[in-house]
């Protein structure tokens, strides 16, 4: 049987790394795309990465979602059966500082891939996955968010992803491309990026415990998020492209926790006994043993427009994809702690 070929944009990110390893186990040939940089940033895929001249089921190419010609050439060269667009300017806070760039990559990047599929007459040959986000729901008031919940993004990142979502729907309906949107809620792992809050919390608290760091600075402690594990979520991406008809799916755990609850669970697991005091921007966590302040809130870590509550309803994915999350938030934190202790 001929190997399936997958082309992954954003292969060096958390999701790209997990998806690559998942597909390799499924006997795929995987072509990964990363932006050219003077800094080596292939750490997440070092265990599977091979030189382009080496015969391997995983090959890395340079490309950029801001460059239509590179996208077109990559698709022509690799002849993929499946394309996964995981590349993005993915940091919500940063999107307020670089809104134009966020739109250029996140919005127009998705459009460029879809346009390349159309221009190469691959509508019947290629399946396309677009990485959406719960940030598209933003300031919604609904208790659970599903595929029918109206979008109300509260950041340039969320807005840019809404465009990518709807252009994917448009090309699916207008040009009959097998194109799916995965509306993924927060999903973490030991290889999460350094600036994301879960990574920041786990790494920071461990460094504090072992004397490498004095304090951890956070923003809104009461934002509620639906956290899953990236390893579970990449399986859902793949399942979407194995269906007979394209569709859009919310992928989530259906459980929500505050940032503060995530801190408390992590602190307890590593043996840090903390007590909270104060309110709002003045709230802080104190070490019960030595009375030192370990965690403080800083205004610069608050978003200009906060998203207070996100909680997904993945009934559709469970029914049609036969998908459900396997890894609990406690198991996720355990994995993240273990990883940080190994590299301390």
Query: What single-letter DSSP state applies at residue 324?
Result: -
Cα separation of 23 and 86, whole Å? 14
Number of H helices, E strands in the chain: 10, 15
Residues in the chain: 344
Q: Which of 257, 302, 255, 271 is nearest to 92 (CA)?
A: 302
Spell out the residues 6+ positions from residue 121 whose beta carbon is closer than 8 angstroms to its own: none
Counting other chains too, the contacts that 275-282 makes at CB distance below 8 Å and 24 or more residues apart are: none
User: Is the backbone of residue 184 left (phi > 0), alpha (psi -120 to 50) or beta?
Assistant: beta
Catalytically annotated residue among 28, 78, 129, 135: 135
- Going from the C-alpha of 209 to that of each of 264, 289, 296, 329, the distances in angstroms are 14, 12, 16, 21
Annotation marks residue 157 as catalytic: yes
The torsion defined by the Cα of 310, 183, 194 and 67, in degrees rounded to 10, comes to -140
Annotation marks residue 133 as catalytic: yes
Query: What single-letter DSSP state applies at residue 319?
Result: I
Cα separation of 120 and 70, whole Å? 14
User: Is the backbone of residue 70 left (phi > 0), alpha (psi -120 to 50) or beta?
Assistant: alpha
Catalytically annotated residue among 133, 140, 149, 198: 133
Cα separation of 183 and 285, whole Å? 34
Active site amino acids = 133, 135, 157
């Amino acid at each position: 049987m001929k190997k399936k070929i997958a082309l992954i944009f954003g292969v060096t990110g958390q999701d790209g790394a997990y998806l690559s390893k998942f597909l390799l186990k499924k006997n795929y040939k995987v072509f990964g795309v990363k932006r050219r940089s003077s800094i080596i940033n292939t750490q997440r895929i070092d265990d599977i990465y091979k030189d382009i001249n080496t015969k391997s089921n995983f090959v890395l190419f340079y490309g950029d979602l801001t460059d239509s010609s590179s996208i077109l050439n990559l698709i022509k060269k690799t002849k993929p059966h499946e394309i996964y667009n995981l590349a993005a300017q993915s940091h919500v806070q940063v999107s307020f500082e670089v809104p134009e760039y966020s739109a250029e990559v996140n919005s127009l990047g998705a459009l460029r891939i879809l346009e390349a599929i159309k221009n190469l007459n691959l509508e019947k040959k290629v399946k396309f996955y677009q990485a959406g986000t719960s940030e598209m729901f933003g300031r919604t008031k609904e208790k659970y968010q599903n595929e029918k919940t109206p979008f109300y993004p509260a950041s340039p990142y969320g807005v840019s992803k809404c465009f990518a979502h709807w252009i994917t729907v448009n090309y699916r309906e207008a040009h009959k491309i097998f194109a799916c949107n995965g509306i993924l809620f927060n999903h973490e792992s030991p290889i999460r990026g350094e600036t994301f809050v879960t990574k920041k919390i786990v790494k920071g608290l461990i460094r504090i415990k072992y004397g490498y760091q004095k304090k951890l600075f956070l923003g809104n402690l009461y934002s509620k998020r639906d956290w899953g594990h990236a390893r579970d979520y990449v399986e859902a991406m793949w399942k979407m492209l194995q269906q007979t008809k394209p569709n859009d799916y919310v992928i989530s755990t259906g459980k929500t926790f505050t940032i503060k609850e995530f801190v408390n669970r992590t602190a307890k697991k590593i043996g840090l006994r903390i007590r909270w005091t104060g309110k709002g921007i003045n709230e802080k966590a104190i070490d019960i043993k030595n009375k030192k302040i370990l965690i403080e809130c800083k205004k610069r870590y608050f978003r200009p427009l906060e998203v207070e509550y996100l909680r997904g309803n993945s009934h559709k994915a469970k029914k049609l994809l036969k998908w459900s999350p396997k890894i609990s938030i406690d198991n996720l934190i355990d994995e993240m702690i273990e990883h940080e202790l190994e590299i301390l």
